Amino acid sequence: MKINEIGEFGLIGRIADAFKPLIPNGWEGIGDDCAMIPWSDNRSLLVTTDLLVENVHFLRNRISAYELGLKSLAVNLSDVAAMGGEPVATFLSLGLPSDTVTTEWSDAFFEGYRSFGVPLLGGDTTSSREGIVINITVLGQAKNSHIKRRSAAQAGDWIAVTGPLGDSAGGLQALLQSLPPEADTSELVRRHHRPRPHLAEGRWLGGRAEVHAMMDVSDGVASDLQHILRASSLAATVSVPELPITPLLQRVAAQYGWDAARMALTGGEDYVLLLTVSDAGLEKLQAAYTARFGSPLHLIGRCENGPSGTIRYLGSEAQFTGFKHF
Ligand code: ADP
Ligand code: MG
């Protein structure tokens, strides 16, 4: 059978089954944004890794070296934020076509990488015949009582996100269509290239008992929410008119005939946090969150009992599926 017949998550499922017997008691491995390893009586080490491949995840002549260094680390830091943790250290492995990559390029890459102020403790470097390959591992830590798992959503929970959806997809679309770099399209491209991992939000939300499940939005809410729902054996409704879509994306979408709601749900790479919140605790949480961060959590739907992983989209004729790697 070819891998694309079982899909990315079919393959990951087979790997998880094969290694389950080797995972020590109290450790948690495949299935969440980070692995969790008990560290002390009340803390865990968090570990996450991501791979970025030239021409799959980025086009070298469209993203600056600075932005590539920044984004490569940002997507990993976002997974630590998603657990309610804080980053401690990073490791970086690079495959570089050494005949075309310059020291100016690598200096700028490391400047972007350094911009988060998290130490780099090691890695590996090799030549590559197939373009630039970047693998980053981030170690983080969190109090056990603050860790938020994908599996903790409950029926009746509100579904929320910590920031707007779709801008990154708009930036990618602007790049793919080679749109003229006007102020609006340039800003969307900037957001696509410079995601901000929601570390402060994640740490804060980790400390709140009203928050049940949490993850980050890398593939788009349409597929990422399914992960929470499957892990929690729940279904959900999502209200399409409630999706936080920026006026910026709305303007550009209207200009070029894009479907902004579809971009918001399926585009991915927004790296905001997706969380579920108990109905009873919502009001208190919302007030405290707004006081702390100056803007509210965006409520986009509710969890409910029903066929595991199914999402009904309200206020839209279309239904949506998320980004698939293969
Ligand atoms: P994220 O986008 O949060 O990094 P992914 O969707 O990439 O998560 O992966 C989902 C889960 O599967 C994670 O727990 C990740 O560690 C695990 N995973 C992905 N690929 C592999 C692999 N090749 N081997 C083992 N675990 C994997
Ligand atoms: Mg993630």
Model confidence pLDDT, tens digit, residues 43-101? 999 999 999 999 999 999 999 999 999 999 999 999 999 999 999 999 999 999 988 88
* Res 9: pLDDT: 86
Per-residue confidence (pLDDT) for residue 251, from 0 to 100: 98
- Is 17 assigned to a binding site? no
Task: Look at residues 305, 263, 38, 231 and name the one whose alpha carbon lies nearest to residue 165.
Answer: 263
Q: For residue 34, which atom of ligand 1 is closest to its CA?
A: 14
Residue 2 main-chain phi, psi, to 5 deg: -80, 150
Whether 324 contacts 7, CB under 8 Å? yes
CA atoms of 252 and 33, how far apart (whole Å): 32
pLDDT value at 324 more than 80: no
d(CA 188, CA 27): 40
167 marked ligand binding residue = no
Mutation pick for ligand 1 pocket among 8, 12, 218 (CB with most ligand atoms within 8 Å): 12
pLDDT tens sequence across 107-154? 999 999 999 999 999 999 999 998 999 999 999 999 999 999 999 999
State yes or no: 49 annotated in a binding site: yes
User: Residue 188 has which token pair?
Assistant: 């969307």
β-pair partners for 314: 239
Tokens of 275: 């969380």
- 137 belongs to an annotated ligand binding site: no
Ligand 2 mean position, distance from CA 81 (Å): 9
Return the structure tokens found at 223.
């597929």
Ligand 2: centre distance to CA 180 (Å): 32
> Tens digits of per-residue pLDDT, 189-240?
999 999 999 999 999 999 999 999 999 999 999 999 999 999 999 999 999 9
What number does the ligand 1 atom closest to the CA of 48 have? Answer: 16
- Determine whether the shortest distance from the Cβ of 50 to ligand 1 is under 6 A: yes
**Helical residues (DSSP H) of 179-325, grouped into ranges:** 183-193, 199-206, 221-232, 247-256, 260-266, 282-293
Under DSSP, the state recorded for 153 is: -
